[in-house]
Amino acid sequence: MTDSNWNLKNQARQQRLQRASRALGDSLQGKICSTDKASSLLEAVLQVGDRVCLEGNNQKQADFLADALVGVDPAQIHDLHMVQSVLALPQHLDVFEKGIANRLDFSFSGPQGARLARLASAGRLNIGAIHTYLELFARYFVDLTPNVALIAAQAADEHGNLYTGPNTEDTPAIVEATAFSGGIVIAQVNELVDSKTTRLPRVDIPADWVNFVVPAPRPHFIEPLFTRDPAQISEIQVLMAMMAIKGIYAEYGVQRLNHGIGFDTAAIELLLPTYGESLGLKGKICQHWALNPHPALIPAIEAGWVQSVHSFGSELGMENYLRARSDVFFTGPDGSMRSNRAFCQAAGHYACDLFIGSTLQIDLHGNSSTATLGRIAGFGGAPNMGADARGRRHASPAWLKAGQEARQGRQGAAGTPRGQKLVVQIVETFREHMTPAFVDTLDAWTLQEQTGMDLPPIMVYGDDVTHILTEEGIANLLLCRTDEEREQAIRGVAGYTQVGLGRDARMVENLRDRGIIRRPQDLGIDPRQATRNLLAARSMRDLVQASGGLYQPPARFRNW
């Protein structure tokens, strides 16, 4: 066998580059492709059956390249296998509808979940699997390596050096896997600079790793996904936030944590400098975060609560604030933030003591899921954050205490002492339209049947959940010793849902006596004090003010 048979990938890359060169002629200057030739570039570079990563992140979207991909001729380019984090844009599904792609591996589909379900059941695409982000990145280096990556950056120079600005997000993981496996990397950029006259603010991705740069006709889309208007936080959410702070954060001394998206967690962030301060907790909890730059965290940062925040991605409008608070956020010498979803997910998995997030359904085992009928939504980072990191070996007081509670009295392998991650599900017992959050059976089971998945799409498994927090109280599942106790602990905080009404009142009182269930009054919390006045900011305007005018919310959040 000659050596050339072992370098087929590099040969294929050369052929792709040559095809692009032939197809584009003068429209290609070095690595720079004319904006109007983006689809031609893709047609030249792509091959039938390619694995393609079209950068769709939680925030940043390679939307112009998405358009270009939708614009290729399906007769020529088809059967693509899309491997991308997020399906956020209509174009992400148009490629399946148009017959350009037919396979999909992904992490999160958010707003496209219902359409994705329709396309899947119509047989227009075959879903390989739904992943947690870090898991998908991991497979980029094993068995889902992209042949072509279509990514987005803020700016490039003519060599192909890329500046991503604060929204670095998934880009390094995607590009590294593709560039070092004979693949082709194409970047859309908002701005092209001439390195002879202008330096990029910094280099986020070296030019060697990038094959083509296409100036986009408009800046890439960024979704302000983590912005929550404090005006919409309810007093029940304030009460639940008080319980989280006093009953969990203070109880375990949680210093390193991640918050899921939502008003529940925004309420916690906004109570730190008020309620948290009144409990004397400053410096004792919440100093280190793996978190996107949530605007709701501004008052806590300004009050000196926060030492560091490492971010998966950025948040629109926070750019100047990040720059002015570089001690707290990871920023480059140029002053702008560097986010990195891969490292931040690793931080969430291995360096955080607590994850708290919301869900749509919880069953009697504590399994929870946001998968509901008619939607294939995925879970993003939640499974990674919301799983005990069993490889972890460093101790912290919070982790040790949780582990001790979980192991006490257990025998055998399960009794071997170790720590445990705190995984909290925070939910009101009824969601919108009085849909109960507690159910006998998750929709996930029906979804599995309908779609032929190997397993029901459960977001966080019950044996990884340590606490369930509702307006009725906190259930500490770590202390439960039998399935029956666990079930009653869950029923005991499930309020007036059918699940809650089905409780064994006597057993629930017994669990309360043992501290497994704790009501607000058990925690010394007076629900009458749970008013919106406790929020350190009660409107978007308050947040802007707290930031000294540095935070500049997107227009749709401005109502003043």
Which residues within the stretch 475-514 sit at the binding site for its own copies (CB under 8 A)?
483, 486-487
Q: Select from 485, 532, 550 the least CA-distant residue to 231.
A: 532
For residue 557, the one-letter residue type is F
Cα gap 7→37, rounded to integer Å: 30
**Nearer to its own copies (CB atom), residue 234 or residue 287:** 287
For residue 409, the one-letter residue type is G
Cα gap 160→398, rounded to integer Å: 46
**Nearer to its own copies (CB atom), residue 66 or residue 83:** 83
Q: Shortest approach of its own copies to residue 210 CB, angstroms? A: 11
Q: Shortest approach of its own copies to residue 17 CB, angstroms? A: 10
**Three-class secondary structure of residue 251 per DSSP:** helix
Q: Shortest approach of its own copies to residue 439 CB, angstroms? A: 14
Q: How far apart are the first and last CA of the chain?
A: 72
Q: Do 55 and 140 meet the contact criterion of CB atoms below 8 Å apart? A: no
Cα gap 515→519, rounded to integer Å: 9
Cα gap 138→7, rounded to integer Å: 23
The site map against its own copies for 40-69 (x = CB under 8 A) is ------------------------------
**Nearer to its own copies (CB atom), residue 80 or residue 387:** 387
**Nearer to its own copies (CB atom), residue 293 or residue 520:** 293
Q: Shortest approach of its own copies to residue 99 CB, angstroms? A: 25
Which residues, numbered 251-290, are part of the site for its own copies (CB under 8 A)?
Answer: 255-256, 287-288, 290
**Binding piece for its own copies, criterion CB under 8 A, among 22-30, 235-243, 274-282, 460-468:** 460-468
Give the E-state strand segments of 340-472 in sequence order.
354-357, 361-362, 368-369, 422-426, 467-470
331 binds its own copies (CB under 8 A): yes
The site map against its own copies for 199-228 (x = CB under 8 A) is ---xxx-xxx--------------------
- The answer for residues whose C-beta is within 8 angstroms of residue 290's C-beta and 6 or more apart is 256, 257, 258, 309, 310, 311, 312, 344, 347, 348, 351, 352
Q: Shortest approach of its own copies to residue 128 CB, angstroms? A: 7
CA distances (Å), origin 51, targets 5, 78, 83, 188, 366: 21, 11, 7, 19, 37
How many residues in the shown chain lie near its own copies by CB under 8 A? 105
325 binds its own copies (CB under 8 A): yes
The site map against its own copies for 395-434 (x = CB under 8 A) is x----x----------xxxx-xxxx---------------
Q: Per-residue DSSP letters for 13-55?
A: HHHHHHHHHHHHGGGEETTEEPGGGHHHHHHHH--TT-EEEE-
560 binds its own copies (CB under 8 A): no
Q: Shortest approach of its own copies to residue 355 CB, angstroms? A: 10
Among 50, 55, 170, 176, contact with its own copies (rule: CB under 8 A): 176
Q: What are phi and psi of 271, to 5 degrees?
A: -95, -15
**Nearer to its own copies (CB atom), residue 141 or residue 496:** 141
Cα gap 334→311, rounded to integer Å: 17
**Nearer to its own copies (CB atom), residue 331 or residue 358:** 331
Cα gap 309→315, rounded to integer Å: 13
Cα gap 337→318, rounded to integer Å: 10
197 binds its own copies (CB under 8 A): no
Cα gap 531→238, rounded to integer Å: 7
Among 230, 313, 462, 492, contact with its own copies (rule: CB under 8 A): 462
Cα gap 483→368, rounded to integer Å: 16
**Nearer to its own copies (CB atom), residue 275 or residue 355:** 355
Q: Shortest approach of its own copies to residue 370 CB, angstroms? A: 13
**Nearer to its own copies (CB atom), residue 38 or residue 144:** 144
389 binds its own copies (CB under 8 A): yes
The site map against its own copies for 126-145 (x = CB under 8 A) is --xxxxx-xx-xxx-xxx-x
List 227's β-bridge partners, or say none: none
18 binds its own copies (CB under 8 A): no
Among 158, 463, 504, 542, contact with its own copies (rule: CB under 8 A): 463
Q: Shortest approach of its own copies to residue 394 CB, angstroms? A: 3
367 binds its own copies (CB under 8 A): yes
Cα gap 41→23, rounded to integer Å: 7
**Binding piece for its own copies, criterion CB under 8 A, among 147-155, 242-250, 365-373, 496-504:** 365-373
For residue 254, the one-letter residue type is V
Q: Do 189 and 213 meet the contact criterion of CB atoms below 8 Å apart? A: yes
Cα gap 471→7, rounded to integer Å: 61
**Nearer to its own copies (CB atom), residue 100 or residue 342:** 342
Among 6, 409, 524, 555, contact with its own copies (rule: CB under 8 A): 6
Residue 307 sits at the vertex; the CA angle it makes with 276 and 241, to the nearest 5 degrees, is: 25
Among 351, 499, 530, 537, contact with its own copies (rule: CB under 8 A): 351
Which residues, numbered 81-120, are part of the site for its own copies (CB under 8 A)?
Answer: 105
Other beta carbons within 10 Å of 235: 18
